[in-house]
Amino acid sequence: MMSQTVARIGQKQIFRRRLLPALPASIDNSFKASAFPQRFSFPSHYQQQRMVQGVAITNNCIVNTNPANGEIISRVPCTTKEELERLLSASCSAQPQWAATSLTDRIRFLRKGLEAIAAKKEAFIDMIVQEMGKPFTEARAEVEGSVSRDEYFRVLQDALEPKKRGKNCQVVRQPLGVVAILSPWNFPVDEILLLALPALASGNTVVVKPSEVTPETGAMVVETLSSVLPEYVVQHAQGDGIVGSHIVAHPLVSMVAMTGSSATGKKILQSCAASLNIKRLVLELGGKDPMIVFDDADLEQAASDAVTYSLSNTGQVCCSIERVYVAQRIYENFCERVVRHAETFKVGDGRDPTVKVGPMVSSIQRDVVKEHVKDAIEKGAKLLYESPPVTGGTFHPVTVLSEVTDQMKVYREETFGPIVSLIPFDGTESSATRLANDSQYGLASSVYTKDLAKAERVANSIHAGQVGINCYSIENMDVGCPWVGHKQSGYGYHSGLEGFQQFSVPKSIVLKPN
């Protein structure tokens, strides 16, 4: 069976045909449609037009548009039920041979896959900027960072190697089977690799469903990897949550790894609980990350970081700084510094190399941010700064709010936009800890003070997976550290020694003692 994507780049039309696997008869015949309950059938309205995350899906095709100008990039066919069943069957059939490949050779394959991505770096950067509006410099940083992983592979191999226990025991790690990866749009290259590389290194085969917001970037990642890996080891399906829900519930899928909203994570948990087989899960979910600025902090550094990591990727990051608590004694001074830094962030089309803040990914997300700002101002927040408006596209101005309170949406809900929210507090450790923990989320956080003993006390009291002391944690973490969400920010975890091991199961081999 054949599907076709029509991509418009400039004035040219590029037709990319993606062939589904032709399975050996023995495999094809062993996998009957009757193995699937009726609940796996696609709903009758699937062919009709609908909107998902601001993306139109018409005649079973994702209408892929540029958020900076509304131009159509491509129309990407959604994977059908029949295609999905054959794709997963092929993935299942390929898994034993891939698992039998040595760990060293699997990692050698993955290194070649990253080299292949690096060779197409400019094409990846261009597609990221087109599909999600990410500024050019940030798109380049994402792609270059994604393929530079020498130390990463060393830690990955160490995490998966057999380990001796005592004199007569050895713990080995075994793959799970087929791993489904549901990847987000905000880091469409890096987030696929964060989950796919450890899953593949562990001996699993992988099926990726990219976000419907960035379908072409996701397809490019998977197709580039698959060009150097054995056949069917890594594949992808396209579509929205309907396709994703069928993948999650499919009996051939042994594990689901997803980065996305907490609401979607809960739906996946429910679906897996009701599925025919017990599945393992890694879910990286939402955040509402706090930053604590004590009165003895380096104010210039803290102000710069508050702005940079509130606005990075147009604020569309699960670990964006969304609550900045500032000691009352330095509050006015700090607010002035924040505004000065915010004024340097130009909003516009990501293709302009001077732009630091691109469009929101969709009009729906832009309207969420607008509503948060409107609600805050109506409830007493002060608008300290708003960047000049940009016409066309789904742009939202850089906005600095002060006097934010816990009664405002911008305080309680994940905003996911280019907003800096400033909140005064009394400067004490107890208040800092209480306020930082005043959220259902617990992804990352940061503490700024020159008193390192105080910083460590507060860091240890904050309920979050990562805490940066005088820095933004994710920018400075060692590759051996896991990325963890506490509370409603995650289920399971990935990355680092501990995270790499989530994609396999340990088995103890015990020899009879002499």
Strand locations in 333-392 (E) = 382-386
CB 394 within 8 A of CB 360: yes
- Residue of 142, 212, 216, 284 marked active site: 284
Q: Reduce the DSSP state of residue 52 to 3 states and report it.
A: strand
Amino acid 412 reads: R
Virtual torsion, Cα 491, 496, 498, 502, nearest 10 deg: 60
Structure token digits, residue 478 = 């060692």
Q: How far apart are CA 454 and CA 459, in angstroms?
A: 8
Q: Which residues pair with 63 in a beta bridge?
A: 56, 75
DSSP 454-472: HHHHHHHHS-SSEEEESS-
* Rounded Cα distance, 321 and 289, in Å: 5
Q: Which pair of tokens denotes residue 223? A: 């197709």
Closest-CA residue to 248 (of 211, 202, 281, 226)? 281
Produce one character per residue of 176-189: b if its CB has 16 or more CB atoms within 10 Å, e if not: bbbbbbbbbbbbbb
- Catalytic residue status for 284: yes
Strands 321-327 and 289-293: parallel
Q: Give me the active site residues, please.
A: 284
